[in-house]
Structure 1
């Protein structure tokens, strides 16, 4: 009954059981299960260098007889190094790491499982896992392989932004790994709003980055292009001073210039029209002057015809004239014919001269028209450029 009153177990038995549990837990805490420890931050290495990925057991624990694995999940096969009882299993290793990875065999009895990678490449960048299957312990190590071939940024003038009245600058830098970021800063170190960074990865896995920014007159004339890699703390930058002459003339002045250009073009067109009108008037005047010799020739011809008719009448009526008239009449036919021939020759020559003058005037008119057309085209082209 007393046992029932005190519970299911006697009091002395409960005390003994508690002491046993306490000793077991104390033993486990003192002896403790070892923990696998890796670096808290990413490791940075230069391409071509040797690097050690640290990994060890704490407290020290002999793993010389254990199976040890170094893997990277992004690989296929994923094994970077595998050993069993201190013997490497070369057949399981990824081909890209053959002959480049090793452990410190003499340190295994102290729990040091650090991995050495020789002549690291850009492709070696990634997260590695140090794993002991028997103890079910693992640690992660992040490796970043950086390039030391990065070039200083090159800044060049890309153009003029007429809408904003600013200068467009372009910055480019090559030879980066991993991919960097590009920043634009003004003279006070303030970040400028720029276009998206264009990234190009070459066959050597190195990155080339470029970006453009529009610098307005309100900004400081001293501009900086900075390219940096946060993981490797690597940075390159270039400074440039933009002269005030590079900034576009204000819009009001531009409007004045455009107005002057349009006015000049209109004045030139009016001048051309005036020249055309004067040329046409001159041509009409010349045509009038050239017609006068023809009219005189016609009158001479009419006079000659009347004289010819009178002489023919006298020849037909010899009784109506005196003796002196008869003597003169005997010579009239020959003289009249000669005069007629001379007048006809003069008329033909005058007609030829007139025709030549007309042809020359037509040719001159065509040349003037072509010249005016070419001049108008030139003025239109100049006006469109202005």
Structure 2
């Protein structure tokens, strides 16, 4: 794939539930997806033959030597001095030199290739310099979404976007396109690539969409999922919970009544025992009185019985 700094019309490509949108390249930067080949343009307006001229490509950051051509001698045919980052990956267009075209091709671009470049003709009067900005991006792949958990109250959704560069903006949206409040996203960065994990709790049945946007490269991609929450099941669950609470309250009330009755009975028994022990000493107990009366009756009966027997014998 060759990338050039030209304006592109808006495109939208959809595969199943994944959609990628490229809004266009409006500035002078050359943008290319990582791993692709890119063309960095550099041409003289006069279209002067430069086969025997010198032109030098450099990356501004670090002043790295990208490609140098000097009258037929260059980095790919024996000349030394090329930065290791670009060794074996950069070439020019020999047949285009007669038309004043000093453009180069960088193969298999990496994120490290992003930056500002200069194409200089140092022996011209005046010196001719061209500036080119290269943006190598890792377009976010299709977000991976799943439902982590689901209850009668709702569902916890998770969206994962990995290996994106530049850092993407990730959102959860409902079927109407409204942004859903979410937890703080988990973001990690490795070698210029970003991984983003975003969770959201939803409470109604709907179609939800995780959207990843990289504004710098005009790239947007999304994945949809449908959350089914059965309202009837939720009502049944609520009724069961309510009934459970009602049983618990009834049981606690029953225990409380039993405790009150038990305490009342104990207090009554204790009071009765206290009364029986508080009788006065001169009155005596009913047991003592009964025993005394029984003794008097037996004594009188013995005396009467003895006398009667004697009378019969005589």
TM range (shorter): 0.5 to 0.7
CA–CA distance in structure 1, aligned partners of residues 223 and 170 of structure 2 = 11
Deviation at 1:147, TM superposition (A): 3.9
Per the alignment, residue 279 of structure 2 pairs with none
Give yes or no for contact 1:100–1:118 (8 Å, CA) kept in 2: yes
Per the alignment, residue 79 of structure 1 pairs with 65
Deviation at 1:112, TM superposition (A): 0.8
Pairwise CA RMSD of aligned residues? 4.4
Give yes or no for contact 1:126–1:143 (8 Å, CA) kept in 2: yes
The structure carrying a bigger strand percent of its residues is: 2
Per the alignment, residue 134 of structure 2 pairs with 143
Specify which of 189, 196, 209 is matched with residue 209 of structure 1. Answer: 196
Per the alignment, residue 252 of structure 2 pairs with 269
> Deviations for 1:313-363, whole angstroms, at most 9, x for unmatched residues?
xxxxxxxxxxxxxxxxxxxxxxxxxxxxxxxxxxxxxxxxxxxxxxxxxxx
Equivalent residues in 2 for 1:160-175 (5 A)? 168-175=156-163
CA–CA distance in structure 2, aligned partners of residues 52 and 110 of structure 1 = 17
Per the alignment, residue 101 of structure 2 pairs with 112
Q: 1:185 to 1:38 in 2, by over 3 A?
A: closer
CA–CA distance in structure 1, aligned partners of residues 41 and 253 of structure 2 = 88
Equivalent residues in 2 for 1:1-386 (5 A)? 41-74=28-61, 76-88=62-74, 90-135=79-124, 136-147=127-138, 150-157=141-148, 168-192=156-180, 194=182, 197-202=185-190, 205-215=192-202, 217=204, 221-245=206-230, 265-276=248-259
Q: 1:178 to 1:38 in 2, by over 3 A?
A: closer
> Which of 1 and 2 has higher RCO (CA within 8 Å, sep 6+)?
2
Q: TM-score, normalised by structure 2?
A: 0.59
CA–CA distance in structure 2, aligned partners of residues 65 and 248 of structure 1 = 82
Q: 1:241 to 1:108 in 2, by over 3 A?
A: same
Who wins on radius of gyration, i.e. which is larger?
1
The structure carrying a bigger helix percent of its residues is: 1
Deviation at 1:97, TM superposition (A): 1.0
Q: TM-score, normalised by structure 1?
A: 0.50
Q: 1:195 to 1:41 in 2, by over 3 A?
A: farther
Q: Unaligned stretches of 5+ in structure 2? A: 7-26, 270-286, 288-314
Deviation at 1:114, TM superposition (A): 0.6
Deviation at 1:157, TM superposition (A): 4.5
Give yes or no for contact 2:137–2:217 (8 Å, CA) kept in 1: yes
Q: Unaligned stretches of 5+ in structure 1? A: 1-36, 286-298, 300-386
